[in-house]
Each structure stands twice: as C-alpha cells, then as structure tokens.
Amino acid sequence: MTFSIKNIFTSKFIGQQLSRLRMGQSYYSLLIASINAVMLVKIAYPTIELNYILVFVPFLLLCTVFVGYFLDHHNINSLDTLKSNEMAHRFLNTGDLKNQEFQLLQTKILIEALNSIKDGKKLEFLEIEEKYNNYVKKWKSP
C-alpha cells in the first residue's frame, strides 16, 4: 500500500479537524463542570441567593472559555499529530461509549436540578441515585 502526498495532507487535515472537535468537547466539558459546580454550591448552601450566583456565573463562564482557549492553544499541535497518527487505527470502544453515556447522565441530572429549582420543588435524590446505580450496573465488569 503506497501513500501519496495528497493522502498525507488529507490525513493531516482530518487530524486537525478531529483535534479541534476534541477541543470543542473539552470546552463543553469545562462548561458543564462549571455549571455543575454552581448548582452544587446552591444545593449545598441554600442560604446563598440565586441572584448572587447569577452574577458570578458569567465570570465563571469567561474563566472557563479562557482555560479552554489556553488548553486549545497549547495542545492543538500535539493533538493534531496524535489524531493524524491514530485515525487509521481508531475505532469506538466501550470506554468511549461509557464516557458519552456518563456525560448524558450528568446533563440529565443537571436539567432535573435546574427544573426543580425553577419550580421550587425538592430534588428527588433517590431517583438520581437510582439512575446512577443503573449506569454503574450496566457498565460494571463481570
């Protein structure tokens, strides 16, 4: 099997796009982690007013974007090289599926927490624990 210069440049281009996608996912992960931290503070300290939290959330999100930009700027070259090398041999594995499913579970729990705060209801921790236990049971090794 021979590789031409066009294949090498195409591989490098696709590797760069995949590394940018990965960095975009990092921005999303940082954003969700920031929002989770804010909601945990609200749940842990109910005496803190929601207005104060809403004032600090934009600052936290700007910090998140700054950290993401810093990581993007310093890691994009190494990541695009790694992705270029890896893309021919990379397939989805159970670790990838498990990670994505856990992020979806976090997002669902966050939405439930926001809805309960918005509606003034108590958060059902037993339902959350049951969802988490179902996730753990599904991915537990035999």
Helix (H) or strand (E) holding 40: helix 5-44
Q: What is 64-113 written as a DSSP string?
A: HHHHHHHHHHHHHHHHHHHHHHHTTT----HHHHHHHHHHHHHHHHHHHH
pLDDT digits (tens, 9 = 90+) for 41-92: 778 888 877 777 778 778 877 877 787 677 666 665 566 666 666 665 666 6
| Whole-prediction pTM | 0.40
Q: What pLDDT, on a 0 to 100 scale, did the predictor assign at position 24?
A: 65
Distance CA 39, CA 119 (A): 15
pLDDT digits (tens, 9 = 90+) for 7-28: 555 666 666 666 666 666 666 7
Q: What pLDDT, on a 0 to 100 scale, did the predictor assign at position 100?
A: 87
